[in-house]
Amino acid sequence: MKNPILFYFDFSSPYGYLASLRIDAIAAQHGREVAWKPILLGAIFKASGNTLLVQQPLKGKYSMHDFARSARWFKAPYQMPSVFPIATQNAARAFYWLNDSDPALAKVLAQRLFAVYFAEGRDISSAETVIAEGKKLGVDPDKLAAALADQAIKDRLRVEVEKALELGVCGSPYTIVDGEPFWGADRLDQVDAWLKIGGW
């Protein structure tokens, strides 16, 4: 059994959302699993010296246009959220907590949170929203609320972000296939090819 493909993303990343819609299907075509790894782009940007695309002159206007056009290219439902970017600690912590007991459900929750934010345009930053969306999927709201306040879960996310930095993760999405890194939703065709032919 090969190691899973590592799929790093921030829940506030439009390109992360788009890639999330395809990464498992691409992996499955090659008999591979994907480990989803939500991280905090703020910490990555702090290390890399970058700022948000949308806040940059020239690139800001282009990126807003490209988010929407890329979504149509992916044939994905999309609207620019009215609140952007957002803090995604609660979403990420909920994912890691649930992932320890039910990885399949954790991925469904992540997909749901992405859809709420980028397809419905609703802010998913608050614990209340994350808990409410979890509840719809059968996740015990009291247990999730306790988890979101648990220092161990907070530490877990911090460790995952540190691990990401060690691996060189410099943006979202950032996919690692057997040690080979691919940054961007626009590298999924290369991810597919790498899985197929093992490099070029």
Stretch that binds a second copy, among 35-43, 48-56, 131-139, 140-148 (CB under 8 A): 48-56
Of 33, 43, 2, which is closest to residue 163 (Cα–Cα)?
A: 43
**Using N-to-C axis directions, what is the helix angle for 103-118 and 89-101, rounded to 10°?**
160
Stretch that binds a second copy, among 56-64, 95-103, 126-134, 144-152 (CB under 8 A): 56-64
* CB atoms inside a 10 Å sphere around CB 160: 19
Of 105, 147, 113, which is closest to residue 130 (Cα–Cα)?
A: 113
Q: Starting from the edge strand earliest in sequence, which strands make up the sheet with 34-38, in order?
A: 34-38, 5-9, 174-177, 180-183
Smaller CB separation from a second copy, 119 or 167: 167
At its nearest, how many Å lie between a second copy and the CB of residue 73?
Answer: 6
Binding mask 137-166 for a second copy (x = CB under 8 A): ----------------------------x-
Contact assessment for residue 110 and residue 94, using Cβ atoms and an 8 Å cutoff = no
Interaction between residue 66 and a second copy (CB under 8 A): yes
Considering CB under 8 A, how many residues would be counted as binding a second copy? 31
Residues that bind a second copy (CB under 8 A): 44, 47-51, 56-59, 61-62, 65-66, 69, 72-73, 165, 168-171, 181, 183-184, 186-187, 189-190, 193, 200
